[in-house]
Chain A
Amino acid sequence: MPGKVKVRVLAGRGLPVMDRSTDLTDAYVEVRFGTDVFKTDICKKSLNPQWNSEWFKFEVEDESLQDEPLELRVLDHDTYSANDAIGKIYVDLNPLLTKDPLKVISGWFPIYDTMHGIRGELNMIVKVDLFSDVNKFRQSSCGIQFFSTAEVPSGYRMQVINGFVEELVVNDDPEYQWIDKIRTPRSSNEARQRLFSKLSGELQRKIGVKVSELGGNAVIGYCQCFDLEGESGIVARGIGTGVTLVRPSQMMPPSPLGVSPQFKDSPLLEDSATPSSPPNMIIRCATSPVKVTTPQTQARRSSDSDVSNTTPPKGSSLTESSGSGSGMGSSGKAVTKLSAQQPSIELMEYPFFTMTSFPVGFIVHLGGVVSAKSVKLLDKIHNPEEPETRDAWWTEIRTEIRTHCRAMGCHAVLGYTEHTTICEEIIVLCATGTAARVNVTYDPASATRIPPPIPSVVAEKPPTEKDRDKKLFVDVNLANSAAQSSLQALYDHGSDDGSPFYNCQLCHVPYKPNSAPFPINLSVCAICRKRKVPDVLFTTIDPPVEIQTHGKGSFIQARVCRPKPKSKGGESNAKEISDGLPFLEYELHSQLMSKLKLCGMNGLYGLKIQITVGESLLVGVATATAVFIAALPIPQVPRVSGQATTEEENNRLQEIQKRISERVFKNREKNELLHIDTGQVSPRSIVTDDSDDDVSDLDLSSGNKDSFVIEVDDANDESIVSLLRDSQLPEGFMMLNTHKIPGSTTLASNLQMFTQVWRQEYMVTSRRSFMDIFENLVKKICYKLRRMSPCCLCGLDFGVELPEDREIQVTVTGVCCSVENVPDSAFELQNCSKGNLLKTVPCVTNSHGGGGSERDDMMFQMEEFSSEGNIASHNKGSSSSEGTTANHSKVPLTRSTKAETSAGTKSETVGVRRSLEYVHNIQRHKNSVELTPLPYIPGLKIEKYLGNYNFFFIRESTSLREIGGQGGFMQTFVAEVMANVRANVASLGGNGLVSYRMNQCVLMCNPHKNQSQCLINVSGDAVVVASEENFPIVVEPLPKGSDSPIT
């Protein structure tokens, strides 16, 4: 759709002094879109200019509207010399390209200069008037929404999964063009930044076209990467899952449970943009069952909008989907729908899903992790300007993944990700996912509860009254359970009714035991005692609500670093790498396995394996969250085996065995796994009746008692020692890398999103030294956040780069959230914190007896320390002033919170709110913007998605020493990036960015030249969040003695 872009520049503030003689600036603004340029007047001699310009109007066609960013350039006017640039602002117009007429971008934007960083701010308004293009031969992808969020966005319902979408665009890198040699660094950086922005727009547009061809209207789990190949160019890649989303009508009929707050829409956002459909569809829909049956007018309205809005002509019949749709309109969170529109999984070329959380009932069986890697040579690309070669590479990889997946008896890949690592002319392409059997067209949960659902045919004849009733019944139920389960995922409080139905079926192996693709230990499912389960389950997805777990989740990381001979030319180097990769992977796997056993757990979620190639190193880091899955057998304590020839060696072996046993016990204790009553089937579990299987010859005794054996060749074996050296997190901290929180932990609120960048020279000395890097980083982060304890670090993402020879760079992003404790774990609480009473701050313990308060004590006694001076008293005073009792005001705030939390369920929220105030008590009123890598913000609900944000920042400095060295440079840059993100979110009227990711962080230093350059790519979904105060959620504590907490 072509459109008119209207821009008005209002004012600036805090501009830098550009004219030394007057200490002032004569600023004006150039507004550029494509080739058209407008200028404001010059506002003489002011650092806070007021322009109040007219509306600058650009008439733009569809393509460039999506590709090009709007560019504003602030300059200082000089009468005699050339005008000096102050800085620039890029505005991505894509969030405005929806049909919502109210959308406008307005606010203070940081004026960003690649050489000087943020220099003042500019206030402006941007609007876009779209008009529909009647030419139907033109495929436009305007209005296709993109979500980084790897699940169904809250407040939407997923109607159809249209399938995997991918695109790849190639361009020259301006940095490597000859012209760069004569350009100033600033114009070169700006050229690059513009190019990145354009590529990203083009990529999204092309993917958008693909999605609308498939009949979808949105992309979720969208992930975009840039490969900086150097000489051969820049490759922008995007993958995602094309889906058809609908927004249930805002006025929900009261669902039986009366909850599901996050689905209530604000009045503004009813039926978000979806392409229009030809009229003949409507006629067919008129006969749709729902139109007749839906009891609520509102629901009918939603079905109306479905009808008039969905899918372009290719999309297939709507009737069925809209029919079921309105039935489900009552709740919202997606439940996979049977609909004629839904392409069957067999028809998808790549049955890949980039989402990490799925609607209840979608996953049938989880197979395991599949991955494929390929080493390629960049200098062998025949036609580097064209994407063909890279396309072929990725096709190869994806085909391999598909084959692996089939070998496991699965037909779908969930939590699918792709990444690359480049070192000079070598590129390694990696793809990972979880093989699974899924149900795209049919919901198994419904099958267990009601008679077989109506076959999904287009309604030729009006269905009978009875059928309709049934259908409606199913839908509401399903919807509720879905709503509830997503609630659960967020708040993790199980109430008795409506909690998700555990389904051990997910853990059952998708293949016949005798046709396992590789030797594997199978045992009988601990829940249904019928089907076979593997002894461990590795997945790349977030914990599905249907899988029952015990205790807490635990962060696990395997790190391997292998030296590699220096490059002796492309081919041999490539061979070296591909020969080394299997060993690297094997070692990663065995480390993961040992650590998992040491934790006393049997499942991994959110597994992310990152392989990095450097000049002389090959590094692999695998990160995951370990859990205890109830259906899988209890892991045995690893047994040490080795050839002991002398008494002394034997003793050492026994010593190791003892330490391992102790460690396992400690870990179990910490993760609340000591009192698992296995074998007892949760009352909430569905015992799947898989009578169709030949279970008759099942040997129940085959419940595998073989324990995991750790081979010790030598009592000083490094791997064992380092395994045991793996330090514990300080008390009061939890770490997870998944988005959903498994186990008995509930997040209360966001405290702090953080980015840690670490870089150091590294020589391979021992395995330990490499492990220590990560251990230290984790400790460092915990120390940094010590004042927020007890807390949970979630969504942790580690990125490893080997930027130069002998240098290693690690970036960590994550969010620190305060936790609520599920009261029923009081027993464990008492258990696990014995003997520490003395250290506790007396008044807390006194004021709240009871189990919980003992837990308050933590390793970090920082608060007391700081209160020795009068230093901390100020911020404590301010935070605790809010109605805390006198005793509390003496105590560091987080503690009193904790004590209260354990004191009772009702006060939990109050207590937690207060701890939030410790961090930002007034921020809430001051338009603060929350950032988080999670797809939600605990304690807040997402009211509206404002658009996907994706931007590439470049920053360079030629006065490195003056700005505090590389550290100062990076610190400022990261802060500036976040500031830019926040300003963009705020200008759209938002106050949060979810699914925040730092996709790239490339730092190039040249300290001898006093120079440094850094590229950072960030993305996420801008949202409006509101506090839940208006939606009091009735949170019921789990009844005591019930089986483990949910999810």
Chain B
Amino acid sequence: MTAVDVFVGNYTLIDFELYDLWLNGYTAQETALFLQKSGIVQRADVSMEIVYSDIQDQYRLFNSLEKLLKNPPKLMDQQIYQMDAEMQRQIIQRYYQFDSVVVREILGKKLSSRNRKDMDDVGEKTRIPLRSCRRQFDNLKRVFKTVEEMMGSLVENVKTHYLLSEELARQYAAIVFIANNRFETGKKKLNHLTLEDFVFCANQMITHWSYSSVVCTVHQDMDVDLDRGFLQDLRELKMISEKEILDEHKGQVITHLKAALPKKSRQVIEESFKTNSKAIINIACGLNHSKEARDIFLDLVEKVSAI
């Protein structure tokens, strides 16, 4: 057995094919097998031993990079591995990339080590290797811990501390937001909703309902939380459910939607407007009770969309 077999270049070059396999939780042996099946030996005219030695080199590199990847700004500053900025961005981005199905499972759970243990169930269910699931869980937890207590814009915080792309940072922000507010997402009735649905909603909530929303005047808190004052104010909406105001509201909404929606949809809305409006206002009024706020998605699905 070879005792030492390493190759080190002045520039650290990442083989992104291997990197992705590594991120997916393939061990060096599994990767070698995978490559072998893909016919690399014939194509490159090399023995499997050489391919394996290359894989090991890269895997060792990934393992030592992993320490730095947990703190991306450190990776950008370090001098041990001479890489260009683009490559650094790439490896960070890919490291923090997640599978929607996996995160959908984690969503709404407390990011505790007890739940980390359940990742093998998640792995089984989603058919994503356990190692990869754990990485995604740990990434979420790490990002959460970092920005949880931070002032300022959630998305910006994720971007500066993890150097992620705008898109990915937004997703993390939404997930952190959901986790922080402990919104219920795991009930059976919500199963048909995808991660993207939640991310969309959460981002809307961050923009419009949190402390960083434009209408919010008291920026004393962070935007991981809903704006308390706003939620208080929501109670005033109760009056809309009174008969005459309800009709007026209905009329205005319909005219407003005239341009945007086809006639058929408008009719559906018109028919169910009364019940839905009442349900929505009920949910809104309850939002200042944190227990009810947590069930917002459940309530919306149960009481509103049941058209």
Which residues from chain A sit less than 8 Å from chain B, CB to CB?
Answer: 13-14, 108, 110, 118, 121, 730, 752-761, 776, 779-781, 783-784, 786-787, 807, 809, 859-862, 865-866, 868-869, 871-872, 874-875, 878, 919-923, 926, 928-931, 964, 966-968, 970-972, 974-976, 978-979, 982-983, 1003, 1005
Contact = CB atoms under 8 A, between A and B. Distances in A.
B214 interface: no
A757 B44 contact: no
B79 A758 contact: no
Interface in B73-98: 74, 77-87, 90
Contacts of A982: 10, 79, 82
B44 A110 contact: no
A874 B53 CA distance: 24
Nearest to B4: A759
A920 B74 contact: no
A861 B42 CA distance: 10
A755 B60 CA distance: 16
Contacts of A14: 74, 77-78
B76 to A, nearest CB: 10
Contact of A755 (B4, B8, B83): B8
Contacts of A865: 17, 38, 40, 43
A878 B16 CA distance: 13
B90 A971 contact: no
B9 interface: yes
Nearest to B64: A972
A871 B57 CA distance: 19
Given A780-B53, A921-B84, 10 more contacts: A730-B44, A752-B9, A752-B10, A752-B11, A760-B5, A761-B3, A860-B44, A868-B38, A930-B10, A971-B6
Given A752-B13, A860-B44, A967 B56 contact: yes
Which one of B2, B79, B83 has the greatest number of beta carbons of chain A within 10 Å?
B79
Contact of B50 (A752, A783, A922, A931): A783
Given A807-B3, A919-B13, A968 B85 contact: no
B50 A780 contact: yes
Nearest to A121: B79
B54 interface: yes
Interface centre among B1, B9, B16, B80, by most chain A C-beta atoms within 10 angstroms, is B9
B152 to A, nearest CB: 20
Contacts of B53: 780
A444 B61 CA distance: 55
A755 B46 CA distance: 20
A874 B16 contact: yes
B50 to A, nearest CB: 5
Contacts of B9: 752-755
B20 A860 contact: no
Closest 8 A/B residue pairs (Cβ): A759-B4, A753-B10, A922-B84, A974-B8, A971-B6, A871-B17, A923-B84, A871-B16
Given A783-B51, A979-B80, A872 B16 contact: yes
Nearest to B16: A871
Contacts of A923: 11, 82-84
A730 B57 CA distance: 21
A759 B17 contact: no
Contacts of A866: 15-17
A938 B90 CA distance: 29
Contacts of A967: 4-6, 56, 60
Given A920-B11, A968-B64, A982-B79, A974 B6 contact: yes
A875 B83 CA distance: 13
B79 A760 contact: no
A784 B10 contact: no
Contact of B4 (A776, A869, A970, A978): A970
6 contacts: A761-B1, A779-B50, A861-B44, A865-B40, A966-B4, A974-B8
B20 A970 contact: no
Contacts of A974: 6, 8
A779 B7 contact: no
B45 interface: yes
B217 interface: no
Contacts of A874: 16, 90
Contacts of B204: none
A779 B46 contact: yes
A878 B61 CA distance: 22
B53 to A, nearest CB: 6
A983 B2 CA distance: 32
B17 A928 contact: no
A975 B83 CA distance: 12
B61 to A, nearest CB: 7
Contact of B80 (A860, A920, A931, A975): A975
Given A919-B11, A971-B57, A730 B45 contact: yes
B40 A110 contact: no
A873 B17 CA distance: 10
Contacts of A809: 4
Given A872-B17, A921-B86, A979-B79, A758 B2 contact: yes
A1005 B3 contact: yes
A415 B50 CA distance: 35
Contacts of A972: 64, 80
B63 interface: yes
A101 B164 CA distance: 45
B8 A776 contact: no
Contact of A754 (B8, B60, B78): B8
Nearest to A983: B79
